[in-house]
Chains A and B, each alone.
Chain A
Amino acid sequence: MVAALGLTGCAKEAGQESGGAKPEKVDGVSADLMADADVTVDTSKYKKDGPYTIAALTQGPFNGWGLTWDETVKYEASQNPDVGELLLLPSMGDADGQITSMENLVTQKPDAIMLNPQGRAALSASVSRAMAAGIPVIVCGNNVEGKKYVTYNDVDLYAVGYQAAAKLAERLGGKGNVILMHGIAGVDAAEAWKQAAEDAFAKYPDITIVGSEYANWSVATGKEKATALMAANPQIDGIWSGGSEMATGAMLAFDEAGKPQPAYGVDNPTNGFLRLAQEYGVEFDAFPDPPGTVAKACLETTLKVLKGEPVKKYEAIPAEGFNETNLDEHYVPELSDDFVGPLVLPMEAYIAAGLKRK
């Protein structure tokens, strides 16, 4: 812990471009990202004639989020005449494997790499190395330390976590007991969201964080931990969940204990969360980390880069929050619980990918 504190201390060295600086957060947004949103990158040196060979390094279809991402990229690439060949390299969640894939791509020399990094730290040097080899790297869906890429396309993950927490705090009238539930300790999204939620709740002095647990983005573990936290704290007014799986588990726990459902603030709501939220009629605020939207935008940016059109260093993708009142606009009953909205492709494309509700 001392070491971690020391880090944040020395993180704010003068804004040299060579990385090492932690993303700075101001009032629910990442200040440095917002600054990058104003920086225009000249891409003329990447300009080429199509059709292009584009490599897409993805998380891999081991869950609904990854599947939705992959299917979006595949579909959009197949519809776009500028894309000659799509090299889809799923890392199946393995950061080290993804570094390997990056190295292999430097040998294979595609026209551009769109990277959904499996580790903000892990992929840092790989991005530099690919860029040094003359391959433009477009980072999407998770940032990479050092900013050596051409452009970063994403929702502001910090803002997603922050707003979910802030909305929850407001719904509770700025006071009450909340518990926080996180994904896997040490994984970027989990830690970014955790930090954001803690920052947000700190703004509300009458809100007490009575529990903060990691539950590995697992519904079952979420239910276990929620039950244990319920035991430790008789009064829970709100649950903030960095990823909706733990919130789903918590809903089941409260339902089973016969206790009234608290209010929820969640990041990245899955179709399954929405289904149960509807069934239990819970109050919630959800902020998406939408794989389809990000993937689609990312492919478009990649093509822009290859055509030499200017792009922003950070291409912000808006993440509109929603709540129980407009749940129907986001819940897709035709598709399985693992689907993560919103719908970007025609319904048939999802069904062909196996996302149909069984």
Chain B
Amino acid sequence: MTLTLAERVARTRLGPPSSWLRRNGAVVFVYLLVVVLYAVAASISPAFGRPENLAEILRQSIALGVVTIGQVYVLLGGGIDMSVGMTARVVGLGVAVTMGATTIPPILVIVLGLAVGAAIGLLNGVLITRIGATPFIVTLGMLGVLSGVALAITDGPTDVVPDFFFTMYDAAIGPVPIAVLVFLLIWAAAWFVLNRTTYGRNVYAVGGSADVARLSAINVHRTRTLTYVISGVCAAAAGIFLLSRSGVGDPGLGQGLEFSSIVAAAIGGISLYGGRGSIVGAFGAVLLVTMSSNIFDFLHVNGYFQQLVLGAIVLVGVSVYRTRGRQ
């Protein structure tokens, strides 16, 4: 069969398909950074290297980690979500205030909070897909609106939340907090959905090329809208978790999560143009960012230099490898 000819040409030109390292360079590099940073810090400060600190780092990464999951979905689908931090704030404060003012059981309030997050995401998604407005600006406008809503909910500390929330944060099996286990499960689920369900693969397709996806009978609008809904729910979950972390609703809750989640996704190799990147890398990047601030505390990095050092780490994280731009 003459077909083998074209194939032979292709093979000699491109070599074997095992360019795994090249495709996953960003992911490998991020984990390499995590390991190196960990080893260096542990050798300087023995307290840092203790296993309970490792569990602590994981727990500290939960809020950013969960928000980043949503952000990864949105970015892979070709969008961006600037409203995650304020979604977390509105939901966190809303849950806290509702807990103080009513006798609705905590679980129900939490479900309600997640639903509000979903609704915010849905609104973002509809504005972006149905009207065709730029995601960055729509979600930026949403950030403004939600920050106003948060202030309308409360401008001061709320009541102390019921014990249920403290248990959510503190409960542990041995040295491992249950919250960390749940967090790891959520990540596994996020990975599973992205890689092992039709919807997840459609997200990649839609982000890779909306036109191609549309012509392949994929419902582009629905797929994209759903990424914002997922992001809204994740942000809401992070807000509720942050509430359980502080025990009292704080009007400053969730500040800056939009930037840190986008940066984490980018360091982890998620393309800001959509359709490319692995959620595994984003997880590594979340660890990297969280660990950096943990290290500051153990090595007592001067306040003046913390931002500079963090900036430098991030800079190294994104610039050593050349991200392929949009074609």
Contacts and interface: CB of A to CB of B under 8 A. Distances in A.
Interface in A217-265: none
A187 B247 contact: no
A103 B56 contact: yes
Contact of B154 (A7, A119, A126, A128): A7
A283 interface: no
A347 interface: no
Given A10-B100, A107-B53, A121 B169 contact: no
B170 A104 contact: no
A188 B156 contact: yes
B265 interface: no
B45 to A, nearest CB: 9
A131 interface: no
A100 B78 CA distance: 32
A43 interface: no
B53 A125 contact: no
Nearest to A60: B303
Contacts of A125: 166, 169, 244-248
Interface in A112-149: 118-126, 128-129, 145-146
B170 A129 contact: yes
Chain B contact patch, size range = 35 or more
Nearest to A103: B56
B20 interface: no
Interface stretch (B6-14, B206-214, B251-259, B270-278): B251-259
A62 interface: yes
Contact of B247 (A11, A89, A146): A146
Given A60-B303, A186-B150, A123 B60 contact: no
Interface in B290-320: 290, 293-294, 296-298, 300, 302-304, 306-307
Contacts of A107: 47, 50, 52-53, 56
Interface of B: 47, 50, 52-53, 56, 59-60, 63, 97, 100-101, 150-160, 166, 169-170, 242, 244-253, 255-256, 290, 293-294, 296-298, 300, 302-304, 306-307
Interface of A: 1, 3-4, 6-7, 10-11, 18-20, 58, 60-62, 70, 87-90, 92, 94-97, 99-101, 103-108, 118-126, 128-129, 145-146, 185-188, 191
